[in-house]
Chains A and B, each alone.
Chain A
Amino acid sequence: QVQLVQSGSELKKPGASVKVSCKASGYTFSNYAMNWVRQAPGQGLEWMGWINTNTGNPTYAQDFTGRFVFSLDTSVSTAYLQISSLKAEDTAVYYCATRYCSGGGCYLDSWGQGTLVTVSS
């Protein structure tokens, strides 16, 4: 079955960068777009954007342009989220999730377990 395994928690200082990985298994990686979702402590879910796993073309939600970069390594079925110039407000759990499309529309189907990124001096 589809499984998404994310990298472990990170503690970073303001201004640093972080790269979160999401390794997929149980399906053909290029079949489903990979999405990223942020959840700040005690807050709701925010859709950050997605990356086309066929072309590598990323699409970013309005609030996630500039410092956020989605990338792929298709040879190891892994998607990455890199955040640069980290700020305290980037402290959150970051989830990867596959997009599945059916007669009921397109939706986020399988999710990774989440990666906590803490930004603190």
Chain B
Amino acid sequence: QSVLTQPPSVSGAPGQRVTISCTGSSSNIGAGYVVHWYQQLPGTAPKLLIYGNSNRPSGVPDRFSGSKSGTSASLAITGLQAEDEADYYCLSYDSSLSGFWVFGGGTKLTVL
């Protein structure tokens, strides 16, 4: 049970928009710590998708965007494509665990 809660699964048809939430608390996201997002394609290592709540590394399409408000963060994917089917994880810092990073439980995105 992660301290950052994500929906286990989301789905959408090609071309649609989906969002993935990452809900925390006052010891992590709500304390002002930034949120990062990772995409993990089947059988591969995670890849940085969004850093610092809403910044995209070079090479990441602008179809991916991140936001944060209060104790939650969200990842939005527009113009859904088949190759977006993957697991997505949020990552933040949690001050209640002696100052450690924590991942969300992960969300499986299915492109219908």
A-to-B contact residues, CB < 8 Å: 35, 37, 44-47, 49, 59, 61-62, 95, 102-105, 107-109, 111-114
Determine whether the beta carbon of A95 is less than 8 Å from that of B46.
yes
Cα A59 to Cα B105 in complex, Å, equals 22
Determine whether the beta carbon of A62 is less than 8 Å from that of B100.
yes
- By a CB distance below 8 angstroms, the chain A residues around B40 are 45
Of the 9-residue stretches B11-19, B51-59, B76-84, which lies at the interface with chain A?
A: B51-59
Determine whether the beta carbon of B89 is less than 8 Å from that of A45.
yes
Known contacts A104-B34, A104-B51, A105-B51: A45-B46 contact under CB 8 Å: yes
Known contacts A47-B103, A62-B98: A95-B91 contact under CB 8 Å: no
What is the predominant secondary structure among interface residues of chain B facing chain A? strand
Determine whether the beta carbon of A44 is less than 8 Å from that of B2.
yes
Cβ contacts A to B, 22 pairs, < 8 Å: A37-B46, A44-B103, A45-B89, A45-B103, A46-B103, A47-B102, A49-B100, A95-B45, A95-B46, A103-B52, A104-B51, A104-B53, A105-B36, A107-B34, A107-B48, A107-B52, A108-B46, A108-B48, A109-B48, A111-B46, A111-B47, A113-B45
- What is the distance, in angstroms, from B32's C-beta to the closest C-beta of chain A? 10
- By a CB distance below 8 angstroms, the chain A residues around B103 are 37, 44-47
The 0/1 profile, CB within 8 Å of A marked 1, for residues 30-49 of chain B is 00011010101000111110
What are the nearest 9 A-B pairs in CB distance? A104-B52, A105-B34, A44-B106, A111-B45, A107-B36, A45-B103, A47-B101, A104-B51, A104-B55
